[in-house]
């Protein structure tokens, strides 16, 4: 393994909220992913580069060692269900809540409700805890549409301000989990690049505590 450290980060809000944290430990990307088509972004630190990928791909890159480090939402980590990486700490960014939601006026008492979600594993586990059978309808986005069009009875999705639910006539029904983004670390890299990664983690944990 080279001494270069690759950090996998997704392009949207996690990238936007990670940058100020990385800046506090003097890691500054040389490009803005919104302005460049490059997927690998160099930083002011010659031994640190940032990989810009889909949020759901971050655990895959880190588990398989293509990136030594990653920043991923707890939602993505819970859904991924892998254990090929360490999750040393909560970065306290991109916070939101995983919620069960449904139409305001709907009868929510179906015996085998249809739940639309991109979080099939989390949803199955959540209802299994109550011994409740559900039919999961896997979607990749815009879950809010499903109850409106009769595709599903309820949805499991992330909620931040609640504006998206409200705008679509939905109401939160149950809180499933508090979500924030975590640092994840490839297990082999933790051993082989121990000095660089330990020092990165120490600096980062200090600025998070501030």
Name which of 60 and 190 has its Cβ closer to ligand PRT. 60
Residues 6+ apart with CB under 8 A from 193: 1, 3, 5, 68
Q: Where are any strands of DSSP class E within 55-200?
A: 69-73, 85-90, 96-103, 114-117, 135-138, 154-159, 170-179, 181-186
Cβ 13 to ligand PRT shortest distance, Å: 4
Query: CA Rg, the chain, in Å?
Result: 19
- Residue span binding ligand PRT (CB under 6 A) among the ranges 5-13, 26-34, 82-90, 186-194: 5-13
When binding is defined by CB under 6 A, the residue of 29, 70, 73, 147 that contacts ligand PRT is 73
DSSP assignment letter at 112: S
Name which of 60 and 164 has its Cβ closer to ligand PRT. 164
Q: Does 20 bind ligand PRT (CB under 6 A)?
A: no
β-strands 69-73, 181-186: how paired?
Answer: antiparallel
Q: Does 160 bind ligand PRT (CB under 6 A)?
A: yes
- Residue span binding ligand PRT (CB under 6 A) among the ranges 24-32, 54-62, 78-86, 121-129: 54-62
- Residue span binding ligand PRT (CB under 6 A) among the ranges 31-39, 122-130, 157-165, 188-196: 157-165
Which helix H or strand E contains 124, and what residues bound it? helix 120-128
**Which of 123, 182, 129, 187 is CA-nearest to residue 155?**
123
Residues within the interface to ligand PRT (CB under 6 A): 10-15, 54-56, 73, 75-76, 94, 96, 157-164, 179, 181
């Amino acid at each position: 393994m080279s001494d270069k450290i690759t950090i996998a980060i997704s392009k949207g809000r996690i990238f936007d909220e990670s940058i100020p944290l990385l800046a506090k430990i003097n890691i500054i990307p040389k490009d803005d992913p919104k302005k460049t088509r490059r997927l690998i972004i160099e930083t002011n630190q010659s031994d640190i580069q940032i990989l810009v990928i889909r949020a759901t791909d971050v655990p895959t890159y880190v588990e398989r060692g293509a990136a030594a480090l990653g920043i991923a939402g707890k939602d993505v980590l819970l859904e991924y269900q892998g254990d090929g990486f360490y999750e040393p700490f909560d970065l306290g960014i991109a916070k939101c809540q995983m919620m069960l939601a449904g139409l305001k006026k709907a009868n929510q008492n179906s015996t085998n409700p249809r739940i639309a979600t991109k979080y099939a594993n989390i949803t199955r586990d959540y209802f299994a805890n109550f011994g409740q059978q559900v039919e999961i309808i896997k979607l990749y986005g815009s879950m809010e549409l499903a109850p409106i069009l009769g595709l599903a009875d309820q949805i499991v999705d992330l909620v931040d301000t609640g504006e998206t639910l409200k705008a679509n006539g939905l109401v939160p029904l149950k809180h499933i989990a508090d979500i924030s983004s975590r640092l994840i670390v490839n297990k082999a890299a933790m051993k082989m690049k121990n000095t660089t990664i330990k020092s990165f983690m120490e600096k980062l944990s200090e600025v998070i505590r501030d």
